[in-house]
Amino acid sequence: MKDAYSTQELTDLLGKARQVIERTAKNKDWRYREEPGQGRGGKIKLWLVASMDEQTRIALGKSVRTGLTLIHGSAKPAQDQPLPPSSIPACQTSDPELPPALLQKAALKSDLVQAYLDAKAWGRKHGRPMSSVRADFVTGYNAGAICASLRAALGETSWQSLERWAVELRRSNYDCAAIAPRYGLHRKGHTKVTPAEEERLLALLLSQHQFKIGTAIELTKQDLSRQGLASPSSASTLRNFAEAWRREHADVWTLAREGEKALIDKIAPFLRRDASLLAVGDVLIADGHRLNFRIKHPVHGRPCRASLIAFQDWASRDIAGYTFMLEEDLAAVHLALYRAILRLGKLPRAVLLDNGKAFKARIFTDNLDLTTSGMAGLYGRLGIQCHFARPYNARSKPVESFFKTLGLSFEKAVSSYCGGNIMAKPARMRRNEKFMQEIEPERLLTMDEAAGLFESWLNTFYRVKSHSGLSGKTPGEVFAAGRGPGLDQGQIRFLMMHEEVADLGNNGVRRFKGEYFHEALYGLREQVLIRFDWHDLRQIWVYRLDGEFLCMAKRQQPVHPMFSLAGGKDAPGYSDFKQGLSEQKSLIRGTKKLVRQAAKQGLVAQARDILPIAEMEAASPRLVADLENIEAENTPQPRLPDFDDDIAAKPAGPGPLIDPTRLDYLSTEDLEAEISHFQSKIKGGAR
């Protein structure tokens, strides 16, 4: 600090008006010297610091000191303005490595000393004892009644400390750096940890088993003791060493303990992309997320966890389309994109897909002719560029941040929340928590209920909340401003809805524990292609296998077995029952009408048209009866021999067909020959 300052310099350093400086100098009798300069008579007054009051000198010393910033260990003016060598404080050369935090604390101490000296000056002016003034000031300060902000930053103190700081300030020409705390500065860059302790402790800490620091310290001391090596450092010293090493070598610490992915996610720098350069619909980001709540399985009704497939618009951060599926598969991706296109009102220019198996399929990368390849080459036909994210790199897919928001607000609010891991499970799902199960039992949602609840959450929470990356705008607001004019839903539905081959029965198509029927399916008994939306199973679209559209079949509701027991005509569903019954009869009447018309036109062959029976009856009406009588008269009735009768009692004749006395010694071949001869005789007798 210089020994004298001009009025303008004091005005800049103390932040007071020129009139205040001149009035203070006159009242407190500051001395000055004159030097050549641009002033009255070609001279300028320089006020001597030695003649100033102590409070002014303290404030002046603090202002000069805090006007410098330490940059790489050297003092430079805060605004890069050169200062005369005489203005550089003496402590700057004596301790150039004083940290800014300690210097700031020293400046606050200087303010406190100045307030303390002001209090003493007031006491002398009013004739108060100095002991009483010191005690009152320290008591009020420690209680927070005096200089509350300084009390919060510096803590409690005593009048002895204030007197010592005042003496140190006077000795250092009122440089506040003289009262800066210096504990630990002499050991900066040095440690008391021995090389053996350092080597063994780091070997344990830099392990993928991820030992805790406390555990590693205990194992280090035990290992060194077994080897007969000294371990003089205390546990707190070793902990300070480990934590300081982790802060200075965070990259090595993270890679050695958690692996390369953690190094990329936590430590490595990344390129920040500017989403404001995109328009709504330019890029859709797709990814899947296993929901952290359970729903009722649509087939067997047991609890299960569904997957959410979402397409997020990068420019607006809004969820353009989504679907719930039991497993993340290709059909779910098609359906989510189909909904995204319909809501967007135009085709996206590009899609960024996850690298998982549900997305990385041939259908997204080939550019084939759709007229001959069916659904293959879907993205190429629609003119959408397809890009895949780097595997295991969450930062390349901004939709991951949406899933985090989803888990913190939406999933936790669902009654069937099950947590993302074992530690996050709600209390009712833990063993022997009967009380928690009673006060808040789990209620499973159907897939339709979960989808409706998710859509409500999007509309009432996510889409109306301002986003930090959208300059304060909401995702729904930005998305609505960039929507397109719309597309042909029929064409998009044909391309992207889930499809299956189904058989037709009396009531149409049987799927999802129900039946889908339309009049266009009546009378058909062939396989058809059905397309449907997993989120809306109230209807399906039916096509022939060659692609011809047949109808949109609606889901049929079962009726009451006995409406008379349910209220008769006033029972719920009775009108639908009567309408269905009427339609059924109408279809049957239509079929009968068609057959009757065909018969009149001779398109239905009758039995009498197969043979010329009419001509035969006209020529001889009794021809058939006469033929039958003639045939009966000329057909003798054969008589089979009774082998149980006694041979001697038989009348004379040609003799037995088979001699029973020879059966005892005939071989198998001879017996078969006799039977064959017997059968031929029977046939001859019948003739």
Measured CA to CA, the distance from residue 663 to residue 467 in angstroms comes to 109
Specify whether the CB–CB gap between 647 and 656 falls below 8 A.
Answer: yes
pTM for the full model? 0.49
Q: Quick one: 109 and 150 in the same domain?
A: yes
Residue 185 domain flag? no
Residue 396 domain flag? yes
Residue 36's pLDDT is 78
Phi, psi angles (nearest 5°) of residue 113: -65, -40
- pLDDT tier for residue 322 given thresholds of 50, 70 and 90: very high
What is the 3 state secondary structure string of 156-176?
A: CCCHHHHHHHHHHHHHCCCCH
Measured CA to CA, the distance from residue 498 to residue 326 in angstroms comes to 14
Residue 330 predicted with pLDDT over 80: no
**150-159 CB contacts, 8 Å cutoff, 24+ apart:** 150/108, 150/111, 150/112, 150/115, 153/105, 153/108, 154/105, 154/108, 154/109, 154/112, 157/112, 159/116, 159/134, 159/135
| CA-wise closest residue to 231 among 186, 181, 196 | 196
The proportion of the chain whose per-residue pLDDT surpasses 70, expressed as a percent, equals: 73
3-state secondary structure of 377: coil
Q: Quick one: 472 and 334 in the same domain?
A: yes
- Any bridge partners for residue 110, and if so which? none
Q: Quick one: 68 and 109 in the same domain?
A: yes
Q: Quick one: 305 and 437 in the same domain?
A: yes
Look up the CATH number of the domain holding residue 502. Answer: 2.30.30.130
Q: Quick one: 288 and 400 in the same domain?
A: yes
- pLDDT tier for residue 69 given thresholds of 50, 70 and 90: very low
Look up the CATH number of the domain holding residue 345. Answer: 3.30.420.10
Q: Quick one: 459 and 575 in the same domain?
A: no
- pLDDT tier for residue 618 given thresholds of 50, 70 and 90: low
Q: Quick one: 228 and 141 in the same domain?
A: no
Residue 599's pLDDT is 77
Specify whether the CB–CB gap between 329 and 358 falls below 8 A.
Answer: yes
Measured CA to CA, the distance from residue 427 to residue 262 in angstroms comes to 31
Residue 75's pLDDT is 36
Measured CA to CA, the distance from residue 341 to residue 484 in angstroms comes to 10
Residue 84's pLDDT is 35
DSSP secondary structure of 398-455: THHHHHHHIIIIIGGGSTTB--SSSTT--GGGSTT-HHHHHHS---PBPHHHHHHHHH
Residue 683 predicted with pLDDT over 60: no
Mean of pLDDT over the chain: 78
Q: Which of 242, 267, 292 is the last residue of a domain?
A: 267
Residue 20 domain flag? no
The proportion of the chain whose per-residue pLDDT surpasses 90, expressed as a percent, equals: 23
User: What range defines the domain where residue 204 resides?
Assistant: 191-267
Q: Quick one: 501 and 618 in the same domain?
A: no
Measured CA to CA, the distance from residue 366 to residue 378 in angstroms comes to 8
Q: Quick one: 57 and 144 in the same domain?
A: yes
Q: Which of 114, 148, 174 is the last residue of a domain?
A: 174
Q: Which of 267, 297, 327 is the last residue of a domain?
A: 267
Distances (CA, A) of 657 to 18, 304, 674, 675: 160, 82, 9, 9
Residue 28 domain flag? no
190-248 confidence digits (pLDDT tens):
568 899 999 999 999 999 999 999 999 999 999 999 999 999 999 999 999 999 999 99
Buried b / exposed e along 543-561 (16+ C-beta atoms within 10 A): beeeeeebbebebeeebee
Residue 565 domain flag? no
Residue 146 domain flag? yes
Residue 169's pLDDT is 86
The mean per-residue pLDDT over the stretch 547-560 comes to 88
107-152 confidence digits (pLDDT tens):
889 889 988 998 998 888 888 899 999 999 999 999 888 888 888 8
Measured CA to CA, the distance from residue 179 to residue 110 in angstroms comes to 8
Higher pLDDT among residues 301 and 639, named by residue? 301
Write the CB contacts of 34 (distance below 8 Å, at least 6 apart in sequence). 43, 44, 45, 46
Q: Quick one: 151 and 216 in the same domain?
A: no
Q: Quick one: 220 and 361 in the same domain?
A: no
Measured CA to CA, the distance from residue 411 to residue 404 in angstroms comes to 10
Q: Where do we find the tokens 């524990």?
A: 513
Q: What total number of domains does the chain contain?
A: 6
Q: Quick one: 285 and 420 in the same domain?
A: yes
Distances (CA, A) of 525 to 516, 547, 549, 664: 15, 17, 16, 65
Residue 613 domain flag? yes
For 573: left if phi > 0, alpha if psi spans -120 to 50, otherwise beta; the answer is left
Residue 32 predicted with pLDDT over 70: yes
Residue 33 domain flag? no
